Amino acid sequence: MSAVSENPGKVVIGTRGSALARWQAEHIKSRLEQLHPGLEVTLSIIVTEGDRFQAGPLIEVGGKAVWVKDIEIALQEGRVDLAVHSLKDVPAELAPGLDLVAIPPRADARDALVSGNGFLLMDLPRGARVGTSSLRRVCQLRALRPDLQVEVLRGNVDTRLRRVAEGIFDAALLAAAGLDRLGYTDRITERLDAVRMLPAIGQGALALEGRADDARIRALTAPLADAAARTTTRAERALLAALGGSCRTPIGGHARLEQGRLFVEGLVGRPDASVILREKLEGSPENAEALGTEVGQRLLAQGARQILDELG
């Protein structure tokens, strides 16, 4: 008998309460309801540690896990059936008993510049104040434009856009996918290619997380899975696992499929951009995890271990 019966029942999705998180959860809710007539899907808004801490860098409260830990606990305790995350917020190691049950088609993985005066990145005036909450972006931005004033800019997407519009910041760097999903595509001044700004691992992808032994949720979400997204994100997350890095360390990673080949690139640097290490490989998509692991190991051999140990 199929794990999805004629009466599919109910699904509770756990999500953060930000506008972007709600959009993502509502999108998955809508898709599930379309795929499975009669399925009742509700959202459970969970306040995470990352939501409670808005004053400074995430490293002060434990890195990227602060966005998912409380939701994973709700999954483990059975209070929710499915979690919808931005994959870039999900640590390499999941909480015990949980698994990524599906990765839907991936959106734009690039970073985007939002400039109050319409300047492209390389045209911003010397000393322009640029905001970001990511050490990965800080590192690469300082390498590209050491003359800019780079400062921490936290808060949801609306908050960050408002601070640029009000002139508090001259520009900000955000994920293009989040801006597109929230209808802010017209606010993007420039999409930055991966050569100049290597994206975060998993950026642009959604992660559907469930209990590893929940066959029903696996069956319900299976039609949402995308093979290409799974391949590229498996390579990137293998890279992250090999490095064992945290939000204290600027780490970037991006994989792309092109003409039947998988290209994987990784980056580790110092926040002040005094050292930036990059490695890339290409190979068969069937070897996605092995390629990601190898890129990570090559970065470690270049000297990434010393950076990771010092900053981690």
| Residues with catalytic roles | 89
Length of the chain: 312
Residue listed under structure tokens 């926040």: 271
Strands 206-211, 111-115: pairing is unpaired
Q: What is the 3-state secondary structure (H, E, C) of the chain?
A: CCCCCCCCCEEEEEECCCHHHHHHHHHHHHHHHHHCCCCEEEEEECCCHHHHCCCCCHHHHCHHHHHCHHHHHHHHCCCCCEEEEEHHHCCCCCCCCEEEEECCCCCCCCEEEEECCCCCHHHCCCCCEEEECCHHHHHHHHHHCCCCEEEECCCCHHHHHHHHHCCCCCEEEEEHHHHHHCCCHHHCCEEECCCCCCCCCCCCCEEEEEECCCHHHHHHHHHHCCHHHHHHHHHHHHHHHHHCCCCCCCEEEEEEEECCEEEEEEEEECCCCCCEEEEEEEECHHHHHHHHHHHHHHHHHHHHHHHHHHHC
**Across-strand partners of 132?**
152
With left for phi above 0 and alpha for psi between -120 and 50, is residue 62 left, alpha or beta?
left
Residue 84: C-alpha distances to residues 20, 130, 258 (Å): 11, 30, 28
